[in-house]
Amino acid sequence: MKKGSDLLVEALENEGVDRVFGVPGEENLDVVESLRKSKIELVLTRHEQAAAFMAATHGRLTGRPGVCIATLGPGALNFSTGAAYAHLGAMPMILITGQKAIMTAKQARFQIVDVVASMRPLTKMTRQIVSPASIPSVVRDAFRVAMEERPGPVHLELPEDVAAEEVEDIPAIPVHPLDRPIAPAGAIDRAAQMILAAKRPLVMIGAAGNRPRLVEPLSAAVRRIGLPFFNTQMGKGAVTGGSNLYLGTAALSEGDYVHEAVAAADLIIAVGHDTIEKPPFLMRNAGGPKVVHLGFQSANVEQVYHPDAEVIGDIGVTMTGLAERLEGKLPEQKQTLELRQKILAKINARSEEDRFPVTPQRLVHDVRAVMPEDGIVCLDNGMYKIWFARNYRTHVANTLLLDNALATMGAGLPSAMMAAMLHPERRVMAVCGDGGFMMNSQEMETAVRLGLNLVVLVLNDGAYGMIRWKQAVDQFPDYGMTFGNPDFVAYAKAYGAKGSRVASAEALVPTLEAAFKGGGVHLVDCPIDYSENTRVLVEELRNKVPDVDLA
């Protein structure tokens, strides 16, 4: 006879799962044995948080849930940040945790916390499996819920006695296509009429517009409609190709150069904007542009986002419908496209300066130089994220992965490891601050053990740089933000990886090229100078004058 754990693993195989990430414990041993006998690879990580980040990134890049496993109590609670990362970032993921036996209590309350309750605000669904006979239906439902819009994490708790219980063979439930509702034709007609009536319409692509299945329909529709567009940070890279319609990324909420185009627009078509992101622009009750919200779900009305019209349904179908109604009917936005050249020139200024430590502009410029169009850059969270969002041009979808939702530190290395596993033929780079890198740096061993080809670029300023900068901008004394670092080159070598140190601005590109060509896991330690944060993002933007008057 089969055990409950066998039914669980068979249900995962039925869903197409090929890897499970995690740190098992005593309460998962039956599941581990069932995995050993299956076609699914158990990817052992050094911390549960990293396993959750990897599973979430699998969901982000493929549209199919990644799966991670942990034991009860402390192991399960270590999933919390990864669950929130996937929940706010709309990444489909399945978290499976163990628990003590529920039919007996031979160890009383040892290690037991209410994990189901703790996961409730962090997931789309959480439930304890109380019978092995229910496992096939519970797993099928979990994957369905995780993938439905808005996608996100689902948590399942499997007690050890349920996992070990023998049961008659119960077949897995067949996977069915997941069709999404389509917006009514009348709603698309009304949106098209609003766009035709506008003088300076502008397209904004948000997080929900950046789904793997939307790449082709969204890219084609943007080109057919022919309107200039910008994106939020998590909408960056949703459209393929180096379109001459691209205005830039709203890396700041207001005041940056791209906001000159936003301020000049009289209508913004917000494609998949999710207010979980830091606002890409601030709506005002009077004097600002009208906003048409295109989304899988109704807009969340916020103080800074309250659309004038909504078109709710599959975004790909909606955008195709708009393209059919608008193609060839909109005048070229010559003034906005003239402004585009000035915006791009401004944000790319001083990108080849040779001062050292390197400036953020030079850093982004040189990383772009060594990454092919399909190369994947995975950012941790720090000051450099704003610079990559502003300055890094993407030409292929999902080639710059950043988190503007939970915006947690520690996710950069695990997400890059997942990208390298999914795309071993591409160049993959993790870009981490020294603070964020050290939060999950132990996964260097995992990356080496898995034989990944991965470059880890660590930006070394000996501080929690973004908060230190904001502390200075707010005119607080410099306090509590600096720390010491290990010798990162020696640290990498201790894990069996390779290590290099950048000693001049001119050395950055050749050092990164050599790291990629050498193969394996290679850490590059690069000092960085963040004085440009204040010069550009505070002083320059505060004193700038619009280059083009579109009033």
pLDDT tens-place string over residues 258-278: 888 888 899 999 999 999 998
Long-range contacts of 419-422 (CB under 8 A, 24+ apart): 419/57, 419/61, 419/376, 419/378, 420/447, 420/452, 420/453, 420/454, 421/19, 421/450, 421/452, 422/58, 422/61, 422/62
CA angle 318, 322, 323 (to 5 degrees): 115
Given this model, what pLDDT does residue 241 score?
62
Q: Are 260 and 345 in contact (CB under 8 A)?
A: no
Compute the C-alpha angle 334/337/338, nearest 5°.
Answer: 85
Q: Do 452 and 420 contact (CB within 8 A), yes or no?
A: yes
CA distance 44 to 443: 10
What 3-state class would DSSP assign to 454? strand
CB 421 within 8 A of CB 369: no
The identity of residue 275, as a single letter, is T
At 479, give phi and psi (nearest 5°): -155, 135
- Would you state the pLDDT for residue 304? 86
d(CA 332, CA 228): 9
Residue pair 523/503 in contact by the 8 Å Cβ criterion: no
* Residue 180 in tokens: 């999404």
Do 499 and 491 meet the contact criterion of CB atoms below 8 Å apart? yes
- pLDDT at residue number 100: 85
- Output Rg (C-alpha) for the chain, integer angstroms: 24
- The Cα 295–Cα 279 span in angstroms is 16
| Interval 391-420: pLDDT, tens | 999 988 899 999 999 999 999 999 999 999
Contact predicate 160/98, CB 8 Å: yes
Q: From the centroid of its chain, how far is CA 18?
A: 21
| CA atoms of 500 and 508, how far apart (whole Å) | 10
Give which of 319, 322, 436, 444 is closest to 384, Cα–Cα: 436
CA distances from 103 to 97, 118, 161, 165, 168 (A): 17, 22, 7, 11, 19
Q: Nearest Cα to 408, choosing from 456, 377, 440, 376?
A: 440
What is the C-alpha to C-alpha distance for residues 276 and 273, in angstroms, rounded to an integer? Answer: 9
Residue 298's nearest CA partner among 272, 268, 267 is 272
Using the structure block, give the residue that is written with the tokens 């009917």: 329
What residue spans of 327-402 are helical by DSSP H? Answer: 334-347, 360-370, 383-391
> How much is the pLDDT for 268?
95
Query: Can you give the length of the chain in residues?
Result: 551
The two beta strands, 19-23 and 290-295, are unpaired
Identify which of 232, 280, 234 has the alpha carbon closest to the alpha carbon of residue 255. Answer: 280
Which residues, given as ranges, of the chain have pLDDT below 70? 241-242, 286, 543-551
Query: What does the longest C-alpha to C-alpha distance in the chain come to?
Result: 76
